[in-house]
Amino acid sequence: MIAYPTIAEAGRMLRAGAISSVDLTLHHLERIARLNDRIDAYLVVLEEPALAAAERADAAFRAGADHGPMHGIPYCLKDIFDVAGMVTTCHSRIVPEEPAATDAAVVVRLAAAGAILLGKTALHEFGTGGPTFDLPFPPARNPWNRNHHPGGSSSGSGAAVSAGLAMAGIGTDTLGSVRSPATACGLVGLKPTYDVVPRRGCFPLAFSLDHVGPLTRTVEDCALIMDVVAEPARGGGSYGAELGHGLKGLRIGTLASFHEAAGAIDPDIEAGFGNALAALRDVGAEVVAIDDLPPLAAFQTTALTIHRAEAYTIHQAWLAERPDDYCAISREKLRAGASLGASDFITAQQARGELIARYRRATTGVDAVIGLSSFALPCRIDDQAALGETYRRHMRTPFNVLGYPTLSMPVGLSSTGLPLAVQLSARPHGEPRLLRIADGLERALGRMNTPPGFAWEGARPMGLPDPAG
């Protein structure tokens, strides 16, 4: 019996007539009603619009129309994207209480594909800050342990998908904000190549670092949703065109110097990384060390300068007129850009070009690279000192500077029952190859298809036949 279906599994059953989109949507709405107040993933639930969209999806199937892999599939959306007729809160009291006039580009694409929007999810204020209790909305919590941080800033989308309150989520990633909740919540989170998924209708944080990407339970699901929300894959075909092709003969580089720069790494995380490398070798990939990488600190310094300058430009007027309406963490982070001048920004952009060129040379000859995502396990959500370290001790930032497609994926659980993850990255527009490698690793390690324990307390399976059995 399936109680935690993937997009691919549900899609097969929808097309076989074993379930309806209304069934699937009601199942998720019931779970939201029962569990959301324990993890605060959703800010608003769109029950009636979701059911109406599900009825339209079912009617289209009955009429012989099939709009693709997301047809009839319920998903959630970070509340930083516009939905016509709704206020885009950005999890803040700052934004004007005026509804959006049009849908964000990614919402338009998902609607045209027959997907079902269940609601809008929590985030760190404006995609920055952190989990905080001095805003009108509570912070999302980690479904694996609700006292712990779910990662951010796309925290609500990660929590919802992990807990089975949506089948996929859409988030944004400026310094790691899709891959961070994917890492903390045991999901696949993809930051595509810069601008491969359009950003129109998404409130910006830092124009040249912002990416839009999906959070899913499996690599296959990630490829399916990319076929809907992204520009066509380079060379045509599906983003999942290489799935199942195996890894024999592929060369994967390790980012050892980034790890060495991290200092202490949680031993469970190190063990998970070692298991991932062994699994890659077992299925025929060649794992090689990458030499002459730019320093991790250089990427971090460059990214922070660009981020602070661009974010301050966006928020300058509000910071002057309404500083106390921001939460304390956001106010502090956004004000950091006030001390930067044009020369600082230009110097950082020049450094960015040099880092990209050096990284490209260092990674010539490999199909992808593998490294850690976080250096520490998710901390308690109320531990401000540990949260500060969380946003410093990771290696997601380089890939926003580079604009390269990068994916975080689960590789097991720690001794304390929290997800472990690794990060894979490929060259620009190399998403099909990146997803192939992630799929091969997922197959080798086994899919993490067990939901967080709390999320299944008292839950009922959907009563659906298992397509594999």
pLDDT value of position 463: 38
Sign of CA dihedral 325, 327, 330, 334: positive
Backbone torsions φ then ψ of 170, nearest 5 degrees: -115, 130
Q: Look up the CATH number of domain 7-456.
A: 3.90.1300.10
pLDDT value of position 449: 65
Q: Tell me the pTM.
A: 0.96
Has 153 been annotated as catalytic?
Answer: yes
Which residue among the candidates 21, 153, 157, 373 is catalytic per the annotation? 153
Q: pLDDT tens digits for the chain (469 residues)? A: 356 889 999 999 999 999 999 999 999 999 999 999 999 999 999 999 999 999 999 999 999 999 999 999 999 999 999 999 999 999 999 998 899 999 999 999 999 999 999 999 999 999 998 999 999 999 999 999 999 999 999 999 999 999 999 999 999 999 999 999 999 999 999 999 999 999 999 999 999 999 999 999 999 999 999 999 999 999 889 999 999 999 999 999 999 889 988 889 999 999 999 999 999 999 999 999 998 999 999 999 999 999 999 999 999 999 999 999 999 999 999 999 999 999 999 999 999 999 999 999 999 999 999 999 999 999 999 998 999 888 889 999 999 999 999 999 999 999 999 999 999 999 999 999 999 999 999 999 998 766 676 665 544 444 333 333 2
Has 78 been annotated as catalytic?
Answer: yes
pLDDT value of position 454: 62
Residue 437's identity, in one-letter code, is: I
In terms of Cα–Cα distance, which of 58, 63, 69, 64 is closest to 20? 58
pLDDT value of position 456: 54
> Can you point out the beta strands (E) in 163-259?
169-173, 188-191, 211-216, 251-254
Which residue among the candidates 92, 162, 177, 425 is catalytic per the annotation? 177
pLDDT value of position 451: 67
Task: With beta carbons less than 8 A apart as the criterion, state whether 146 and 120 touch.
Answer: no
Q: Is 248 exposed, middle or buried (0-12, 13-18, 19+ CB in 10 A)?
A: exposed
pLDDT value of position 67: 98
DSSP string across 50-109: HHHHHHHHHHHHHTT----TTTT-EEEEETTB--BTS---TTSS-S-S--BSS--HHHHH
Has 177 been annotated as catalytic?
Answer: yes
Which residue among the candidates 20, 78, 120, 180 is catalytic per the annotation? 78
Task: With beta carbons less than 8 A apart as the criterion, state whether 378 and 417 touch.
Answer: no
